[in-house]
Amino acid sequence: MEITAGPADIDDADHSDLLAAVAAAESVLSGRFGAQVRLADPERLGGAGRSVVVRVRVASTPFSLPRTLVVKRYPSAVADRDPFAHEAVSHKLLTALPGEDRLTPELVAQDSAERLVVLEDLGKAPRLAEKLLGSDARAAERGLLSWAHAMGRLHATTAGRDADFDALMRRQGSQCCADPIAVDVHAALAGLPTLLAEAWQVDTPGPVLEFAEQAVRAFVTSRRRAFSPSTSCPDNHLVTSKGVRFLDFEGGCVRDIVFDAACLRVPFPSCWCPYGLPAGMSEAMVAAWRAEVSGVWPDLDDDAVFLPKLLEAQLLWVWLATWRGLPRLDLALPSGHRPLDSPPRSTVLASRWVRLRADALAAGAKPVAAHAEAVVDALVSRYGSESVELPLYPAFR
């Protein structure tokens, strides 16, 4: 293994993990191809603490390999959730798609013992987060619409792949649930009413609880299912010349596609670093997504079918975010990848309830709207009226 990167490229504290990941990748590639493969010039690409992600140059190989590759390696599995299993199985499923349908990096090699995947390097294209945090409004808008179209195409090309995904998970030897977020959805349904009552003295009326229970049933039993990257963070979407490409499948699964579509109405509900979007932008993204999936699920062209399902999925995301975030709302500080002026979590959460209130009113779901109003009032009482004003992404200011 050749290591020629300078000190600026490698953080000393993580140096050994990086070297171990590169050495493991060399071993896996050499075993896969039956001859020595040497890698050099490691460049750390980040990771969320659950993995080591590094770009490497292929320094020596007797085979036709790309000039650079990306290596992602995971530590030991934690409890009953193994992000490596989801990552490896997702890439196996998606790499089997025809090249023109693939919206993700191609899997070059993977090894369960080493807990790593070796992937095609999609290059140094900007991530969607860079577009949104930049100064070009048109580029940001194109990036968002490209993301929506790409999500729809991903759903359309992987429709009904439940059996394939489950078989790959079994072959992987994973005991994980097929959709890691499903456990949290059920926990949020059971736990949020008590949490709201204890923290903010907000009751959850029976009709609202019934609506939420119906939303969970629809989420679990839906027949409109396809592959989902699971996370919607803009850091995980690469904006290339061929459109958005998806990265990071630590929670990749097959699930209800409308649940993913709700990420367009309430952008990036699985992360805490979003800003606001211009009026009409979310609606344009939802329309772009529907245009891609309508050939497979024509009933979603009908507003009478689609919009109630979208509201159910939206409510699940808002309940899930509140259940996860409320206990630590006052303690949350910006994480390292967020700009210093990133909105506080209380504002992010309040904006999601405000949007839920408006969409529930438009759909005639008055009990849901009234409950959302009560939660917004509680947030304003605790954090001030400015807590409901989510500033626009810098690109749209």
pLDDT at residue number 377: 96
Domain locations in the chain?
7-120, 128-396
Q: What is the pLDDT of residues 21-45, one digit of tens each?
A: 999 999 999 998 888 999 999 999 8
Q: What is the pLDDT of residues 212-256, one digit of tens each?
A: 999 999 999 999 999 999 878 899 999 998 899 999 898 899 999
Segments of the chain scoring below 70 in pLDDT: 1-14, 47-49, 77-80, 174-178, 331-341
- For domain 128-396, the CATH architecture is Alpha-Beta Complex (3.90)
Residue 109 and residue 150: Cα distance in Å, rounded? 25
pLDDT at residue number 360: 98
Whether the domain at 7-120 and the domain at 128-396 fall into the same CATH topology: no
- Least Cα distance to 258 among 232, 289, 231, 279 occurs for 289
Q: Which CATH class is domain 7-120?
A: alpha beta
pLDDT at residue number 172: 84
The single-letter DSSP state of residue 241 is: T
Residue 9 and residue 218: Cα distance in Å, rounded? 47
Output the pTM of the full model: 0.91
C-alpha 76: how far from its chain's center? Answer: 22
Question: Which segments of the chain does DSSP mark as H helices, in order?
Answer: 15-33, 83-95, 128-132, 137-157, 162-172, 180-200, 206-221, 257-265, 281-293, 303-325, 345-363, 366-383
pLDDT at residue number 77: 63
pLDDT at residue number 183: 87
pLDDT at residue number 182: 87
Q: What is the largest CA-CA distance in the chain?
A: 68
